[in-house]
Amino acid sequence: MRKDVVRMFRIWGQTFLPSVVTSVLYFSVFGTVLGSRIGEMQGVDYIIFVVPGLVMLAIVTNAYANSSFTFFQSKFFMRSIDEILVSPTPPWLMIAGFITGGVIRGVLVGAFVLVISVFFTNLELTVASIAIISFFAILTAMVFALAGLVNGVYAKTIDAINIVPTFVLAPLVYLGGIFYSVHVLPPWWQAITYANPLFYLINGFRYGFLGQADISPAISAGVLIALIVILVGINWYLIKKGLGLKQ
Amino acid sequence: MITNSQTSKDTPALKVASLTKTYASGTEALKGVSLEVPEGDFFALLGPNGAGKTTIIGIVAGLVNKTSGKVSVFEHDIDKEHERAKTYIGLVGQEVNFNPFEKPLDIVVNQGGYYGIPRQIALPRAKKILTDLGLGDKMDQIAFGLSGGMKRRLMIARALIHEPQFLILDEPTAGVDVELRRSMWDYLRELNQTGVTILLTTHYLEEAEQLCKHVAIINKGEIVASGAMKDILAMHDKNESAKAKYRGSTLEEVFLQLTKEK
């Protein structure tokens, strides 16, 4: 974990800066330019409505990318993963080490995006709302760091690392309700949205910001915790058996 | 911190019984290998390329899954006491496998972390090992700029940070110049004299002849000879050598006699 944190700060231009720049563009285009024409959604200004989704987008992509790429490069480029595999480090500790780096990067970048939102909105947060946001931020980062780790462990080529974020993660995030409320969708699309795990994360997060969401925050938290348990189990099995790691 | 328990002199450092390995490609790399490395020994595992040496080492170190058979390190079964068995082993692999953008000191200290060694203990220990191996003035430079020989020594330093009782060296002197090779021999001899058991694979047979007390020769996944170095050397068939025109060390002749195509 220490190695990973040192690395992510050393190459901050690759790890932290891109999401910050992207979020400035999102706030400018979707919030200020388009938002002024859209007006309100769920009773709040559109630019405020999209803040939770954009913070979460930063957390999701960074937590995922960090653990998937860190693990993949350690097993693919220099086989430095062997340093850990020959040691008595148990699988649960390997999982904890790799996802902690992802969680730290995801939450830090999410915090940067939140700070940027202050310059574009008049968002007011209470201590209670910050606590809820932090809770959902950490759980979300854990889910996607774990998902990224599964990808990193199992990937056999660098393409496999890039395909999942592009063709699976991005559609799930954008169709999960970052830019709209589920209530503006036709019933059949609403039904599909309820099957998207990202919808629950975004709404839990939105509850922390706005005090309202499409579904109960308890359901969001329950879905997140269930996903964490499932993903920890998958990672543990893959690492214990050495699938994708050992010959 | 994980520490090794005391071992008695009668305990074999490594015991391999009926070990087989068939890769997913169908290649049968090991066909029921059995061997024993006594504690405190300097043991050579020799064989031509593709004979199965690195597969055995990979299985012992936890980098390769075996197909069947039993392996124990200081009587700790690698299946049942996986983590305990690993605390005894230090591995210097065949390929350079550290992150070249890290500093040697960080590489060695971080390795200590994987064995639960606190940083305040690992740091002075790493500095001493790196200095002993002639890397004292390179420990704070990026490892990318090290020469081939320095990278090999860094891998030895990394394998020693947790003070293993069983050091496995997979061709540690490949591509290393004569002078440096000799200094590495001296270092390994001293290490062995402190009680560390060493398993060495090498293609430099004079190296094995100089350093090792016992030897096993593997060919096509099977052990074809095993025993004390002097007994293996005694297998030297002088008539065969005369026919083939003697060109190398005695061990080299025996090796060729045992591994040549029939």
* Cβ-based contacts of A3 with chain B (< 8 Å): 102, 106, 110
Which residue spans within B129-236 are E strands per DSSP?
166-170, 197-201, 214-219, 222-228
Phi, psi of B88 (to 5 degrees): -85, -20
What's the predicted TM-score (pTM) here?
0.80
B5 pLDDT band, cuts 50/70/90, is: very low
pLDDT greater than 80 at residue B92: yes
User: Are the C-beta atoms of A147 and A231 separated by less than 8 Å?
Assistant: yes
Distance CA A101, CA B26 (A): 38
Q: What is the DSSP letter of A169?
A: I
Share of chain A above pLDDT 90, in %: 25
CB contact under 8 A, A83 and B102: no
pLDDT value of position B1: 46
Q: Which residues of B touch A2 (CB under 8 A)?
A: 110, 113
What is the residue type of A169? L
Q: Which residue in A83, A88, A242 is closest to B65 by CB distance?
A: A242
Contact B62 A85 (CB under 8 A): yes
- Residue B133 contacts residue B157 (beta carbons within 8 Å): yes
Tell me which residues of chain B have a C-beta less than 8 Å from any C-beta of chain A: 2, 23-24, 58, 61-65, 82-84, 86-87, 89, 91, 93, 95-100, 102, 106, 110-111, 113-116, 158, 162
Strand partners, B227: B215
Give the tens place of pLDDT for each residue, A41-98: 777 788 888 888 888 888 998 999 999 988 888 887 778 888 899 999 999 999 999 9
pLDDT in tens, B190-209: 999 999 999 999 888 888 88
Measured between alpha carbons, how far is B49 from A197 in angstroms, rounded to an integer? 51
pLDDT in tens, A199-240: 888 888 888 888 877 778 888 889 889 999 999 999 999 998
As a whole number of angstroms, the distance between CA B85 and CA B4 comes to 9
Q: Which range scores top for mean pLDDT: A77-86, A158-167, B103-112, B215-224?
A: B103-112
Q: Is the pLDDT of residue B236 over 80?
A: no
Question: Considering only CA atoms, which of A133, A140, A156, A150 is closest in space to residue A105?
Answer: A140
Domains observed in chain B: 15-88+165-230 (3.40.50.300), 99-163 (no CATH)
Q: Is residue B262 predicted with pLDDT exceeding 50?
A: no
Pairwise CA distance, residues B56 & A129, whole Å: 57
Q: Which of A74, A86, A241 sits opposite B63 (nearest CB)?
A: A86
Residue B242: the pLDDT is: 54
Q: Which of A5, A174, A21 is nearest to A106 (CA)?
A: A5
How many C-beta atoms lie closer than 10 Å to residue A127's C-beta?
6
pLDDT at B9: 58
Tokens representing B256 are: 């060729």
HSE of B195 in the Cβ direction (CA atoms, 13 Å)? 9
The predicted pLDDT at position B247 comes to: 56
Residue in A74, A86, A241 closest to B62 by CB: A86
Q: Which residues pair with B38 in a beta bridge?
A: B12
The residues spanned by each domain of chain A are 2-241
Report chain B residues whose CB lies below 8 A from the CB of A82. Answer: 63, 91, 93, 97
Chain A residues within 8 A of B83 when measuring between CB atoms: 88, 90
Of B83, B93, B110, the CB nearest to A82: B93
